[in-house]
Amino acid sequence: MLDGARPVSDEQELLEVAVEAARMAGDRLALRARAGAESSVSSKSTPTDLVSQADLDSEHAIREFLQARRPRDGFIGEESDARPQAGESGYSWVVDPLDGTVNFVFGIPQWCVSVAVRDERGTVAGAIYDPNREELFRARRGGAAQLSGLDGESELRGRVREVTPSAATLAENVLASAMVATGLYYDADVREAQGKVLERLVGRVRDIRRFGSAALDLAWTAAGRYDAYFERGVKQWDIAAGALICERAGLRTLELPEHPNLPGGILVAPDELAERLFELVANS
């Protein structure tokens, strides 16, 4: 047992189901992507918040798969009713069937499938599958974060680049060395406020990247490709799997508070960077 909670075997079984679901949906999406642009695309909250038929079909396929494998579990997906569909087992699946829809529609190969499962204590297991690079990021609550790809299997440990440890301005050096990933919200007024935060940040860090998939940003931070990631307006399906993967990779996760012109959000970074970055981006 782990911390008096679920047996390791339960966690591992749930992780294996998450991996299967993510791979199945990701492979289907890859076939669609190779076939060309989506013919059916519409907007949701704003003209920049897109949903394609690929999103809908992918979620339907994942839901059918989970219903067959775990019929007593609950379900919440990005394209479904936002209220969780309660199950009898104590577990609920949280699914983003296509994270990075705009990239997918425009033919930009930076999108993925994110599948996580929760209980009353939080996320139990999660998987993020990137079919463009054939990379699978995964973790369970009681184990290490792992990456499977073309180069084999590795354990994930988030990190920042080396700085001089004896320097009096260590915190500033760590910040100045940081490659930071972020995302922008769909609402124009929020984007304008986010732009002011980025203006404050851009001269204090190594550089900033914005690619468009929150789940992959989290996975890549866990893999050390970024030193830190923050974003506002993310939903539970965007971050459920990725936040767990980052935590099991040894990273710290902080909640960004809401402001009148900025929704709440998430920040993930190593301990030595987290507080300093939080000070710069937590306020409007």
The token pair at 22 is 């993510």
Q: Is 188 helix (H, G, I), strand (E, B) or coil?
A: helix
Q: What is the pLDDT of residues 9-28, one digit of tens each?
A: 799 999 999 999 999 999 99
CATH node for 8-155: 3.30.540.10
Q: What is the pLDDT of residues 200-256, one digit of tens each?
A: 999 999 999 999 999 999 999 999 999 999 999 999 999 999 999 999 999 999 999
Q: Delimit the domains of the chain by residue range.
A: 8-155, 170-281
Measured CA to CA, the distance from residue 114 to residue 130 in angstroms comes to: 9
112-119 vs 92-99, strand pairing mode: antiparallel
Measured CA to CA, the distance from residue 99 to residue 113 in angstroms comes to: 6
- Tell me the CATH number of domain 170-281, given options 3.40.190.80, 3.40.50.720, 3.20.20.70, 2.30.33.40: 3.40.190.80
Percent of the chain having pLDDT more than 70? 85
Q: Which helix (H) or strand (E) holds 137?
A: strand 135-140
Q: What is the pLDDT of residues 160-216, one digit of tens each?
A: 665 555 444 565 688 999 999 999 998 999 999 999 999 999 999 999 999 999 999
CB atoms within 10 A of CB 151: 8
The reported pLDDT for the residue numbered 133 is: 97
Place of tokens 């919200």: 185
Measured CA to CA, the distance from residue 22 to residue 33 in angstroms comes to: 16
The token pair at 157 is 């440990």
Measured CA to CA, the distance from residue 255 to residue 232 in angstroms comes to: 10
